């Protein structure tokens, strides 16, 4: 094996290994959520989990039939939230919120990917990275 073949082989293995790690660290939005659809929930924020790799909110709100459920809302990573103007203390349990997002594939799970969140009491509005997902 020539020196050039060794360099090309080592580079290829390094790129494949790095790419493989990256691929395992992320998942497709379309695998979990119904891209192209939208859901809106008005309710009370019960919990805000500010953590990596994704933040989560739990909002108690009604579905389109008026039945109350705990919605699990997946958001971006804390660094992305911070870069877009949201902090760990911006939203507090007990806040009345209006959330829009991409619904989960299993309707009974009451999940969504966060697009926007509003707090009508003070006019707070936030638009997240998933707002650009079509």
Q: How many domains does the chain have?
A: 1
Tell me which residue of 83, 74, 32, 22 sits closest to 51, measured CA to CA: 74
9 found inside a domain: no
CATH number at residue 45: 2.40.50
Structural domain for 44, as ranges: 29-132
Whether the per-residue pLDDT at 15 is higher than 50: the answer is: no
Whether the per-residue pLDDT at 116 is higher than 90: the answer is: yes
For residues 130 and 76, is the Cβ–Cβ distance under 8 A? yes
Tell me which residue of 117, 45, 58, 35 sits closest to 84, measured CA to CA: 117
Distance of alpha carbon 114 from alpha carbon 109, whole angstroms: 15
Q: What is the pTM of this model?
A: 0.74
């Amino acid at each position: 094996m020539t020196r050039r073949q060794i360099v090309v082989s080592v580079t290829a293995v390094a790129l494949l290994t790095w790419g493989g790690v990256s691929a395992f660290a992320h998942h497709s939005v379309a695998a979990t959520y119904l891209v192209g659809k939208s859901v809106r929930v008005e309710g009370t924020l019960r919990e805000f989990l500010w953590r990596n790799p994704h933040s989560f909110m739990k909002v108690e709100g009604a579905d389109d039939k008026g039945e109350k459920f705990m919605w699990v809302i997946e958001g971006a990573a804390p660094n992305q939230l911070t870069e877009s103007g949201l902090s760990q203390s911006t939203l507090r349990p007990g806040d009345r919120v209006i959330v829009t997002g991409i619904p989960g594939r299993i309707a009974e799970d009451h999940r969504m990917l966060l697009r926007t969140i509003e707090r009508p009491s003070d006019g707070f509005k936030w638009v997240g990275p998933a707002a650009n997902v079509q």
